[in-house]
Amino acid sequence: MKVCVVGIGYVGLVTAGCLAEAGNNVVCVDNDGRKIDGLKKGVIPIYEPGLGEMVQHNEKLKRLEFTTDLKYGVDNSLIIFLAVGTPPMADGSADISAILAVAGGIAEQMRDYRIVVTKSTVPVGTHKKVAELMKTKTDKPFDYVSNPEFLKEGSAVEDFMSPDRIIIGTEKQSVRETLKQLYSPFMRKGNRIIFMDAVSAEMTKYTANVMLATRISFMNEIAALCEKVGADVELVRQGIGSDSRIGRAFLFPGVGYGGSCFPKDIRALIHIGGQNGVEMGLAIAAEQANKASQDRFAKRICDYFGDRSRNVVLAVWGLAFKAKTDDVRESPAINCIKKLLERGIKIRAYDPEAAQTAGAVIGNKIEIVENGYDALDGADALVILTEWQEFRNPDFELIVKKLKKPIIFDGRNLYDLEVVKKAGIEYHSIGRPAVG
């Protein structure tokens, strides 16, 4: 099929690459000329496992094209995906100006029928706004579909290739059939396509993200309480996760959620609730609890060093908001580092993939090194802020040797208490008794 994807970020590039991999011809449109020039030369602008090879392969086969020219994309496709950003505004609502700008542009360029599909996370009711706007700009027929995306950064290609479900928000049967055909290569394991109306589809996306964020916040509050009462949150997690009504996923305590989705989507849902006279009390509490858990961890470190803070150098492992991505948007690691910097603490940090993205945000305030063990030399403690696989089984002897004193503050609970105890490390983690 002929497809266009507008907005070639984390969602758009993965969508385009996977659709091309399934044999479709895909035109990728973005208004960032540098990004498009790079992609034409095979430069992949983000880190996402498996994405680079797939994009380069399909570009070679001419199933993927890159352009800044929206008209070219509209001319050469039947289905046009919108995957542009919908960043948060000061009042918490999602900014849909890029969605409206692109939808308007598509309408102006359309010479015949098109299907416009929104993958971006957009406020409930956006489908109406987009359709109304497009009707003012074209008399050509079109259909609009809300098709929220559920991929996770770090496993985005895998998630797209084998999704838990696909939500198709349109009531028109012919459009449902067309999208069913487009998605059929990814549905071979019996994964489900769920058809619904556009409002319910828009609502489903926010509901999913806010529920996941709420689970994380709840576990972080439980972890804080475990610390006070002397319980081990890891045992509590296993104890409740084995209950089939609860399940094991999204119960890991840590330094709070971050990234480009949960924080923004929770605020957007609170805003949508407010607009409709429904107070989203749980969502508000989950957001507050998240801020509290981020603050709590930084405070613990600052309190530990007290008045000595100005003379303290900390090695930090992890800058990305989670493992297997270079994305630092609303990263709890960056938020924690900012709080440590406020107390005069110096930071020497390492991240396997996010050195560049973090450097752009905070590079003038911290030192970023290329090897995790280099960060340790003479530092007062090691602070772990992202759960990268390579941090899980480190050389503890070397850590002990390089640090001034063997102290670890672990915001991701990576280590077994017995293992660090044996290694002679003073170990502070989340919701578990301190060791050493």
Among 3, 11, 216, 345, binds ligand NAD (CB under 6 A): 11
Burial of 396 from C-beta contacts in 10 A (0-12 / 13-18 / 19+) = middle
- DSSP assignment of 94-128 equals B--HHHHHHHHHHHHH-SS-EEEEE-S---TTHHH
Q: Which residue from 67, 120, 147, 357 is in contact with ligand NAD, where contact means CB under 6 A?
A: 120
- Tell me phi and psi for residue 236, to 5 degrees: -60, -45
Asked if residues 102 and 59 have their Cβ atoms less than 8 Å apart, the reply is no
18 binds ligand NAD (CB under 6 A): no
Task: Return the H-helix or E-strand segment holding 1.
Answer: none
Interface of this chain with ligand NAD, residues 139 to 178, rule: CB under 6 A? 149, 151, 153
Applying CB under 6 A, among 85, 258, 263, 431 the residue interacting with ligand NAD is 85
Report the nearest approach of ligand NAD to the CB of residue 28 (Å).
10
* Nearest to ligand NAD of 137, 299 (CB atom): 137
Find the binding residues for ligand NAD in span 21-50 (CB under 6 A). Answer: 29-32, 35
Selected catalytic residue, list 4, 18, 261, 336 = 261
* Cα(239)–Cα(248) distance, integer angstroms: 10
Q: Can residue 83 be called a binding residue for ligand NAD (CB under 6 A)?
A: yes
261 belongs to the catalytic site:
yes
**How many angstroms separate the CA atoms of 62 and 80, rounded?**
18
Which residue's structure tokens are 């919108």? Answer: 82
Answer for which of 4, 5, 10, 383 binds ligand NAD (CB under 6 A) is 10
d(Cα 282, Cα 215) in Å, to the nearest integer?
11
Among 64, 70, 68, smallest CA distance to 14 is for 64
**Nearer Cβ to ligand NAD, position 98 or 284?**
98
Measured CA to CA, the distance from residue 113 to residue 333 in angstroms comes to 47
Binding span for ligand NAD by CB under 6 A among 116-124, 241-249, 293-301, 405-413:
116-124
Residue 118 touching ligand NAD (CB under 6 A): no
Q: Which is nearer to ligand NAD, 130 or 403 (CB)?
A: 130
Catalytic residue list: 261
Interacting residues toward ligand NAD by CB under 6 A? 6-12, 29-32, 35, 83-86, 98, 101-102, 119-121, 149, 151, 153, 260-261
